[in-house]
Amino acid sequence: MPPARVKRVRGGRFALRITGAERDVLRSLPAQLRQMLTGQDSATDPDLRRLFPPAYPDDPQKSAEYDGMVRDDLMAERIAAIEVMERTIDSDSLSEDELLAWLSAINDLRLVLGTRLDVPEDLSRRAFLKALTPAVRLRAAGATGAAIGRSATPRP
């Protein structure tokens, strides 16, 4: 079993064990998400729909009213998480609050990427992998395996 990427250490901190290459990838993503969130089309950007889902899917008026009440607060929380991740990207350890901010920012990135890749919200991992062609599965397993230190051989 590979060592844990995040591990609680003394003093209430968390050791962060990620490679330089992984940090380089993570370094660019928060800025891209910030740009999307603060862009002039952020309220209508379809790639952000999972970050701000309608509270009342069957009632656009109520949903818009609710969105008007909470959107600024949600946006501020997302931007704050991005700022923490950007500030601490080269740290070897994180406080609990910093780690929670990382998790929030990474989750937001996951939701945006899922939307951009048109991954259905109700799709299980198994169904997603089954839907891929064998060539794509092999490439995905190789890329993921190389990134996390596993064998590049996909499972059936």
The helix, strand and coil proportions of the chain, stated in percent and rounded to the nearest 5, come to 60, 5, 30
For residue 151, the model assigns a pLDDT of 35
Tokens of 87: 């500030």
Q: How far apart are CA 78 and CA 34, in angstroms?
A: 8
Q: Which of 15-24, 37-46, 78-87 has the highest mean pLDDT?
A: 78-87
Per-residue model confidence as pLDDT tens digits over 80-115: 999 999 999 999 999 999 999 999 999 999 999 888
pTM: 0.75
Cα distance between the two ends of the chain: 21
Per-residue model confidence as pLDDT tens digits over 42-76: 888 889 989 999 999 999 999 999 999 999 999 99
Say how many C-beta atoms besides its own lie within 10 A of residue 12's C-beta.
8
**Could you tell me the residue ranges of all domains in the chain?**
6-121, 123-156
